[in-house]
Every structure is written in C-alpha cells, then in structure tokens.
C-alpha cells in the first residue's frame, strides 16, 4: 500500500506533487509500523519545516496569525478543518514513536490549550475552546490516545471516564432506532439533532445504524482508545464500554462490515479481540480486512475502490489519506492477530 507513495518521496521527505498537510497526515505512523523508519523521520522533517507554526499549530499556507486559522490557510481537506486538531495529533503520536522532541512538546501544548475542554474532560471540534465548539466522543478518543503517548496517563483516564459516561447515556444502541450520538454539550447531554443551518460538519455526529454509508470510523477510535486504556490501567469499565460499542456495530447495517471506512472498527476490534479472545471480535476484523483487500484496494496498492470524488484536489487527498491510514491499521491488526495466536486467543 505504501510503495506507491514512497516512490514519490524526495530527499527532504516531501512527496512529489503533494503540498497540503492532509497529504501527510497518516503516512508517518504507517511508515513506522511498516518498518520504514528513516522515511517516516524524513517525512516528519518535511512536515515540521513546511507546515509547523511558532504557536505549535500546522497550516498549509502563510504564517498563522491566530490559534484558529481559516480553512483556506489550514488545509484543502474540509473534513480535517472541522476536526481541526485531528491532523496535528497524528504527527504528535508519530513524533513520540521517533523521539522527535524537537517539535512534539510545542505541538501538544497547542492542542492541549485550545482543543481540550477541562470542564467535560473531552476533546472538542469545529472551533477551539474560546469559540463555538462541540464535545465529541470520537475526538475525545483521539486526544486521549495522544495523551497516553505523551505520558499524561491520569488525564487520558479522565477522558476515558467521560467516554464511558457518554456511551452509557446512549438511548438507542439496541432498540429499533439503532442510533449512536457522538456529540454532547458541557452539561453532558447528548446532541440528538441539529438545525438545518448549523455551520458545522455533521457527517459523524449521528450514526444511524439502520442505514449504509455511515461514518463507521467514528465508532472504532473510542473502542481502540478504551482498549489501550484498559491495557494501561486494568480498569474493566474501559474494556466493557469498548465491547458495548462493538456490540452496536454488529447490530448495524451490513455495510459496517463491508466498507473501507470501517478501518478503525477493524483496529479496535483487533485490540479487543487480543484482550478477550472472543470470536465475534475476530469475525468483525476478518470481514472488514477482507473487504478492504478484496474490494477496496487497487493493483497499485492504493485504496481506490470507494466513493471518492474523482478529479478533485479533495478527492486525491482522501485517497492518499485513507490509503496511509488503512496501511497503518492493517499492520497493527496483523500484529494483534499474531500475538493472539501465540497466546491462544485467536478464535
């Protein structure tokens, strides 16, 4: 999967023909797990020198004049803009793995100051803490995972506790409505609807399990983070909540098992499968991985066979982003299966 893009790498770590932060978001972590450590380090060199700002943020063009750059300056990827600090944290976690102490401190301080809500112990999106933000389970999982990487274990556990609480409040995980809500307000009330003129991107705000083409990936990250948090703390609540989410996925439309954007569910199910040895988690892993390899992946390794926009800068950014991310999750998931097999937990 990575060969197509590593063939485009220049000596400075950039990719020929790609000059937006979204093009590089997932690749450094995928390269690390793929054993291409020198290439990952060179790519982070490029990302830091090309995109990093004095305030710790990363933007595509010009010098940042505030802690919240306009979309035209941040990235061409409009979804990444709504999940503003998402991209930043992918490079922080890759940087931790490569001991990149030249930038991870400042990058984390920026995210922590503007995209963590201390009132709810949650990650936020759309706008920073001094703006029109929403708390989000998915975004919280990503921030909690970043905090684990940075050694902020107690704070990561606080975020995990918030996720456990908000999943326990879900009213329609196993009834006819079969719906999951990702967003909540500062009083811990789930946001179950939005005005038609709400300016935020709501693709992943509400998951209607009865329908195909949902943002299944938003369910996978909290599963994976809670599995990691359980492994770190031993607290059974985290693993129990991860399994509650996976049980919901299994009740959902069959598309949840046959979509390339279920990649994070595959990742999370693999982690939980290795912890529990339960067949239902491994079955989910095999279904999703099989679909990605048999249907989604093209001969050149890229994940092309899905509903990407064709012939647009955004569509091309989606292809490189998803190909890099899926390569990463496949490496991680394969290793979980190997470890589970050795331990007798691969069902």
pLDDT digits (tens, 9 = 90+) for 166-203: 999 999 999 999 999 999 999 999 999 999 899 888 98
Does residue 44 lie within any of the structural domains?
no
And the tokens for 250?
């299994």
Residue 305, pLDDT score:
82
- Which residues of the chain register pLDDT less than 50? none
CA–CA dist 250, 155 (Å, integer): 31
CATH number of the domain enclosing 304: 1.50.10.10
And the tokens for 274?
């290795």
Does residue 51 lie within any of the structural domains?
no
Report how many domains make up the chain.
1
Domain that residue 265 falls in: 75-343
Residue 307, pLDDT score:
82
Residue position matching structure tokens 């054993």:
35
Does residue 162 lie within any of the structural domains?
yes
Does residue 22 lie within any of the structural domains?
no
CA–CA dist 178, 167 (Å, integer): 13
Q: For strand 183-184 and strand 179-181, is the pairing parallel, antiparallel, or unpaired? A: unpaired
Does residue 29 lie within any of the structural domains?
no
Residue 201, pLDDT score:
83
Residue 218, pLDDT score:
98
Does residue 163 lie within any of the structural domains?
yes
């Amino acid at each position: 999967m990575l060969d197509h893009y590593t063939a485009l790498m220049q000596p400075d770590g950039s990719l020929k023909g790609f000059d937006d932060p979204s093009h590089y978001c997932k690749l450094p972590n995928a390269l690390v797990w793929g054993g291409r450590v020198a290439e990952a380090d060179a790519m982070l060199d490029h990302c830091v020198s090309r995109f990093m700002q004095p305030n710790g943020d990363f933007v595509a063009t010009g010098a940042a004049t505030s802690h919240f750059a306009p979309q035209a300056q941040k990235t061409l990827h409009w979804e990444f803009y709504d999940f503003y600090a998402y991209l930043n944290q992918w490079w922080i976690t890759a940087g931790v793995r490569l001991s990149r102490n030249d930038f991870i401190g400042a990058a984390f301080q920026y995210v922590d100051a503007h995209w963590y809500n201390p009132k709810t112990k949650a990650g936020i999106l759309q706008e920073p803490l001094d703006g029109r933000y929403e708390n989000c389970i998915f975004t919280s999982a990503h921030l909690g995972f970043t905090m684990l990487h940075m050694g902020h274990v107690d704070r990561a556990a606080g975020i995990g506790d918030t996720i456990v609480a908000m999943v326990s409040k879900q009213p329609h995980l196993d009834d006819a409505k079969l719906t999951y809500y990702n967003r909540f307000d500062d009083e811990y009330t789930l946001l179950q609807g939005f005005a038609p003129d709400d300016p935020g991107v709501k693709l992943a705000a509400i998951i209607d399990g009865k329908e195909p083409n949902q943002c299944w990936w938003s369910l996978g990250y909290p599963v994976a983070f809670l599995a990691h948090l359980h492994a770190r703390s031993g607290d059974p609540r985290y693993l129990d909540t991860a399994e509650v989410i996976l049980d919901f996925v299994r009740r959902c439309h069959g598309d949840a098992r046959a979509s390339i954007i279920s990649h994070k569910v595959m990742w999370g199910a693999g982690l939980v499968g290795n912890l529990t040895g339960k067949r239902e988690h491994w079955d989910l892993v095999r279904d999703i991985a099989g679909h990605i390899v048999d249907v989604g992946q093209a001969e050149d390794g890229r994940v092309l066979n899905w509903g990407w926009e064709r012939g647009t800068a955004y569509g091309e950014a989606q292809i490189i982003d998803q190909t890099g991310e899926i390569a990463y999750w496949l490496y991680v998931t394969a290793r979980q299966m190997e470890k589970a097999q050795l331990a007798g937990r691969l069902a």
